[in-house]
Amino acid sequence: MTEEVPEREARAFDTLQGTTIFITQRDGSFYAYQNLCPHLQTELEYLENQFLDQDQEYIQCSTHGALFNVETGECISGPCLGEFLNKVEIKVHSDGGIYIVD
């Protein structure tokens, strides 16, 4: 599954619990978050898999343009400044699979 998440891109996935998460890759490390903005609890992307800003530097909420640090999930600009995305703990296995850690 690691091949499904190219460097500096993000992909959404539905979990067995019925929620949607997205995974992004930065410098070979993978980060996963729930697909909810802390501001209004709306989904982050307007178009499918469009979680990053134009320069692919930050996670961006399509509702109000809030920007989040990829590595920490902290909002660095926008109406939820200082709040965090809900991080999802994942493990990358040697077989290329990415799994949610319970």
Q: What is the pLDDT of residues 17-65, one digit of tens each?
A: 899 999 999 999 999 999 999 999 999 998 999 999 999 999 999 999 9
Q: How confident is the model at residue 102 (pLDDT cuts 50, 70, 90)?
A: confident
| Per-residue model confidence (pLDDT) at position 1 | 67
Token pair of 58 as six digits:
């930050």
pTM of the model: 0.93
- CA dist 19 and 14 (Å) reads 6
- CA dist 72 and 29 (Å) reads 12
Q: Which CATH number fits domain 1-102: 3.90.870.10, 2.102.10.10, 2.60.40.1180, 3.40.640.10?
A: 2.102.10.10
**Would the pLDDT of 82 be above 80?**
yes
